[in-house]
Structure 1
């Protein structure tokens, strides 16, 4: 884990896919489908978060701490963030891609009734979100996301 101050982000309403990848990398990343720019700026200041945006007007607002993303592609956006903040080297414990809560390891026996039969057969390591209860394992979706992250 990174010993320096952790990076915290707010992804604006057009960056939901990027927010999920940042959460998988362990970055505290807020995302709202809809939020007023003034609320976004206030939350950023209050919680010392960097606003990730493709909105030039928001980025040019001198009262906010923003990072403007040039690309519309989430992979390129990850690369832009890596160039600016070295995010690949600052990864932390994964977070729930829905709730943004740090995942906790859970014993397979505690969640057997929630798992598909093939998952029970082939996987032994599981994590759970303490807020929404979503269970995660390192299946094909996880591996695709990790391959994407590694490619930055």
Structure 2
């Protein structure tokens, strides 16, 4: 349910997930959606940041959703899958999806990196079986399309097919 949105839906919506929606933030980032998340942040700071950066605040907090001048999208569902479906439908995120283009931990856009540059940082089996890697320059994480990636993509395909 949408409430108190003070600016229009954009072609590429940007979000801030409140402290209760960390899992949702991870999956939005997995879709390539610019989504900030802070485990601890005051509501006033959240609202200021959202207004300054033209972001929508995603929340399940009714009192936050009723604040004036707060660009809030209140999510009724408690389940992450249902929350994602709601946002995909409302913001047409399937049309804008750029999967695995952001770090799921810190939201930084990923860069393709050559295996040779990171070979010493890779687990033995990863060195042997994978050749394509992406890198987060902010938190120094390396991404490859292993089991964890496949499980997340299966979950996202399930969500998107139901939307």
TM-score band w.r.t. shorter chain: over 0.9
CA drift of 1:95 comes to 0.7
RMSD over aligned Cα atoms: 1.2
Q: What is residue 87 of structure 1 aligned with on the other side? A: 93
Separation (CA, whole Å) in 1 of partners of 2:88 and 2:62: 20
Q: Does 1:133 pair with 2:140?
A: yes
Q: Which residue of 2 aligns with 1:77?
A: 83
Counterpart check, 1:49 vs 2:49: no
How far apart are the structure 2 equivalents of 1:62 and 1:146?
A: 37
Q: 1:121 aligns with which of 128, 149, 155?
A: 128
The answer as to 2:105 corresponding to 1:102 is no
Aligned pair 1:147/2:140, yes or no? no
List runs of 5+ in structure 2 lacking aligned partners. 1-9
- 1:151 is paired with a residue whose SS is helix
Runs of 4+ in 1 over 2 A off after TM superposition: none
Aligned to 2:29: 23
2:128 and 2:91 mapped to 1: Cα distance?
40
The total of aligned residue pairs comes to 149
Distance in 2 of aligned mates of 1:75 and 1:5: 23
Task: Give, in whole Å, the separation in 1 of the partners of 2:150 and 2:68.
Answer: 39
Q: 1:37-89: per-residue Cα shift (whole Å, max 9, x none)?
A: 11111110000000000001111223111111112211111111112111122
**Equivalent residue, structure 1, for 2:18:** 12
In the alignment, the residues of structure 1 paired with residue 147 and residue 68 of structure 2 have an alpha-carbon distance, to the nearest angstrom, of 43
Partner residue of 2:68? 62
Unmatched runs of 5 consecutive residues or more in structure 1: none
Shift of 1:108: 0.7
